[in-house]
């Protein structure tokens, strides 16, 4: 009997990306809309019956999953090519971004199923808008990346202050507001992006005024507030730690362009520095990456900014720099794998501190397989740089770790094979084509997954 026949453990193919090391990135790469914004903008469309159009949406698997979430809520969802004036065609005509057309019914569904929510944590953001529209919502507890605990306590506490009754059963969060939501004074224990988004979307249709203190300040928060205001909401303070939302009776659909993806842009910035390259990144506001780019300057890089673009050039081996992740405008936690990659090839020792997610260092063992000298202790990692890493087979454990391992492989001798790169597909549209355009020898393929051993 061959593999997969009765009596043999099941064997599945796993996507892999192989990069040839000792590469130097050079050229220009364009960044499209932010995944972390587009997903929430799609949820915000639920607040207004009719047709909303969101442009500059990245062509990634998470967007497709969110589209299916909305379809099961009764929305019509279709993807189209962006307008010709939008940057969306590159690398031989491959579509980089799309528009999503969302037709929202007068009475959308009120339940988000587990089979989709477990695959995409961001789908919890339908909680706020559906509660505001329907007065009832049942959403499965979310899944997503395995990077640490990310509870819903602040979402639930804030909605409760707005008059919602929250309960849970069989793995679902159930929220009810039969008499509608009302304004409230809410203070978040931590500037959570997800909680801020859910509470803002609930508050725009609530009676009275809602104030959210210690709100998240990320550009993606500003983006969703901009879209909601264009829909007729009354939100003040976007980009600051205090948001004031005056509820309105109804919103109307709009057309809105997604803000550029600062995390993808930051990935290319660190890749340029790690490979001693010269890369220009377009499509994102450099101010969104001020702290990260400043770290690259401290490491010895040359950073030039102009308009909606920036250039990073590193001529010599980077110098070691310490990094501490913090909520925006601090150093983004999603760039921590790239910061560890930079430290792994820098001259000297770097102390990397993670303050957001308690599981971010899960991928450190994979980086060590490439020869990185990393010692972790709780929220800290001490990384002693080496001139070169060594190519090896490694496994992506989440979106950013996967990208970080691929970039680290560019600084290694030999070939690095990164498996389970479906994670990378969730955050980076056409990553392989971008690498090739910047001068990397890279292939994508599949290998059989090792079957689990019977015990």
Q: Which one, of 125, 104, 111, 108, lies nearest residue 45 by Cα?
A: 104
Given the DSSP bridges, would you call strands 349-353 and 323-324 parallel, antiparallel or unpaired? parallel
Q: Are 21 and 391 in contact (CB under 8 A)?
A: yes
Q: Are 370 and 19 in contact (CB under 8 A)?
A: no
Tokens of 357: 């997610």
Phi and psi dihedrals of 407, rounded to 5? -65, -40
How far apart CA 396 and CA 406 sit, in angstroms, is 9
How far apart CA 322 and CA 162 sit, in angstroms, is 41
Q: Helix, strand or coil for residue 199?
A: helix
Q: Are 143 and 121 in contact (CB under 8 A)?
A: yes
Tokens of 417: 């094979």
Q: Is 40 annotated as a binding residue?
A: no
How far apart CA 390 and CA 226 sit, in angstroms, is 46
**Alpha-carbon torsion (264, 268, 270, 275), positive or negative:** positive
Q: Is 334 annotated as a binding residue?
A: yes
Q: Which one, of 183, 228, 188, 232, lies nearest residue 210 by Cα?
A: 183
Residues 62, 82, 145, 430: which is the catalytic one? 145
Q: Are 80 and 134 in contact (CB under 8 A)?
A: no
Tokens of 321: 């720099």
How does 201-235 read in b/e, with b if 16+ C-beta sit within 10 Å?
bbbbbbeeebbbebbbbbbbbbbbbbbbbebbbeb
Q: Are 102 and 68 in contact (CB under 8 A)?
A: no
Tokens of 111: 């339940």
Half-sphere exposure of residue 81: CA atoms within 13 angstroms, side-chain side:
10
Q: Is 36 annotated as a binding residue?
A: yes
145 classed as catalytic: yes
Q: Is 295 annotated as a binding residue?
A: no
Q: Are 162 and 203 in contact (CB under 8 A)?
A: yes
Q: Which one, of 328, 355, 327, 350, lies nearest residue 339 by Cα?
A: 350
Q: Is 119 annotated as a binding residue?
A: no
Binding residues for phosphoenolpyruvate: 35-36
Binding residues for UDP-N-acetyl-alpha-D-glucosamine: 121, 334, 356
Residues designated as active site = 145
Binding residues: 35-36, 121, 334, 356
């Amino acid at each position: 009997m061959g593999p997969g026949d009765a009596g043999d453990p099941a064997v599945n193919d796993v996507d892999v990306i192989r990069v040839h090391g000792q590469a130097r990135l050079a050229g220009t790469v364009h960044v499209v809309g932010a995944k972390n914004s587009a997903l929430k903008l799609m949820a915000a469309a639920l607040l207004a019956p009719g047709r909303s159009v969101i442009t500059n949406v990245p062509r990634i698997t998470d967007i497709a999953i969110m589209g299916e979430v909305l379809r099961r809520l009764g929305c019509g969802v279709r993807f189209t090519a962006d307008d010709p004036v939008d940057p969306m065609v590159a690398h031989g005509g491959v579509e980089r971004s799309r528009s999503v057309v969302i037709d929202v019914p007068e009475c959308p569904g009120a339940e988000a199923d587990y089979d989709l929510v477990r695959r995409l944590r961001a789908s919890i953001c339908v909680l706020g808008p559906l509660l505001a529209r329907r007065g009832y919502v049942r959403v499965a507890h979310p899944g997503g990346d395995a990077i640490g605990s990310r509870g819903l306590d602040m979402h639930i506490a804030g909605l409760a202050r707005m008059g919602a009754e929250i309960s849970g059963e069989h793995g679902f969060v159930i929220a009810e507001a039969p008499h509608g939501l009302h304004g409230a004074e809410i203070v978040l224990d931590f500037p959570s992006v997800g909680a801020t988004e859910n509470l803002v979307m609930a508050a725009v249709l609530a009676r009275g005024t809602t104030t959210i203190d210690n709100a998240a300040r990320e550009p993606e928060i500003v983006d969703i507030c901009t879209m909601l205001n264009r829909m007729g909401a009354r939100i003040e303070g976007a980009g600051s730690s205090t948001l004031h939302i005056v509820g309105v009776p109804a919103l109307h659909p709009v057309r809105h362009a997604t803000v550029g993806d600062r995390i993808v842009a930051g990935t290319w910035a660190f890749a340029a520095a790690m490979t001693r390259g010269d890369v220009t990144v377009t499509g994102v506001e450099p101010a969104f990456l001020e702290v990260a780019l400043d770290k690259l300057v401290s490491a010895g890089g040359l950073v030039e900014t102009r308009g909606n673009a920036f250039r990073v050039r590193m001529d010599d081996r980077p110098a070691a720099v310490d990094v501490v992740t913090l909520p925006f405008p601090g150093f983004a936690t999603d760039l921590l794998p790239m910061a560890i990659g930079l430290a792994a090839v820098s001259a000297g020792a770097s102390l990397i501190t993670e303050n957001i997610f308690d599981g971010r260092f899960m991928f450190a063992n994979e980086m060590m397989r490439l020869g990185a000298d990393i010692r972790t202790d709780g929220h800290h990692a001490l990384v002693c740089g080496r001139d070169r890493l060594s190519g090896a087979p490694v496994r992506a454990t989440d979106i950013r770790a996967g990208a970080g391992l691929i970039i680290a492989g560019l600084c290694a001798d030999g070939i690095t094979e990164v498996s389970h790169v479906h994670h990378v597909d969730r955050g980076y549209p056409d990553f392989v084509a971008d690498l090739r355009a910047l001068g990397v020898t890279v292939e994508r393929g599949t290998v059989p997954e090792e079957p689990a051993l019977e015990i």
